[in-house]
Amino acid sequence: MSTLIAPKLLSSRHQARELTASLAEDLSGTVVLVDCSALQASTPSFVDELVKAVLVDRGGERLILKGAPERTVELARRAAQNRGVVDRLVTG
């Protein structure tokens, strides 16, 4: 499992790419956990780029958002649905 720590505020796609830059290019068979306990707000674009970077571009097995605000969870579900990867997104 790879773990990433989300800061308090995240807004741009650029920040999603920065946050995931340390991950391997191929995440097949890897679970990525994003610790969102400090996160207070995020934009739809940031969340979409995070889902894309982990589950689409790198083929991660699962993306877990731990302790994310309700709004971020809603945005993540929407993004994962749009990209056809909702079955690999875990929130809670």
Partner 1 sequence: MPISRRAALDSPRLDGALSFDLDSGVAAIDLARESFVDAYAVVGLACFIASAAGDGLAVRLVLPEDPDVRSWLSRMHLGAVVEAFGVRVEGALPRIAERDRRDTLIELQRFDDAHGSDRLASFIWDRLEGGADGEVVNQLFEATGELGLNVVEHAGSPAGGFVAAQRYKAGMPEEWIIVAVGDVGVGIRESLRPRYGDMTDGEAVGRAIQWHVSRVPDEGRGQGLPGVVEGVRGLDGVVWIRTGAVSRTITRRRETTIGVSRLQGTIVGARLPCRPGR
Query: Nearest distance from residue 18's CB to partner 1, in Å?
Result: 9
x/- letters, 38..67, toward partner 1 (CB under 8 A): --xx-xxxx-xx-xx---------------
Contact 46, 15 (CB under 8 A): yes
Number of residues that bind partner 1 (CB under 8 A): 20
Residue 34 or 46 having the CB closest to partner 1: 46
- Using CA atoms, how far apart are residues 4 and 82, in angstroms rounded to an integer? 23
Query: Nearest distance from residue 63's CB to partner 1, in Å?
Result: 14
Cα 30 to Cα 25, 36, 51: the distances in Å are 11, 19, 14
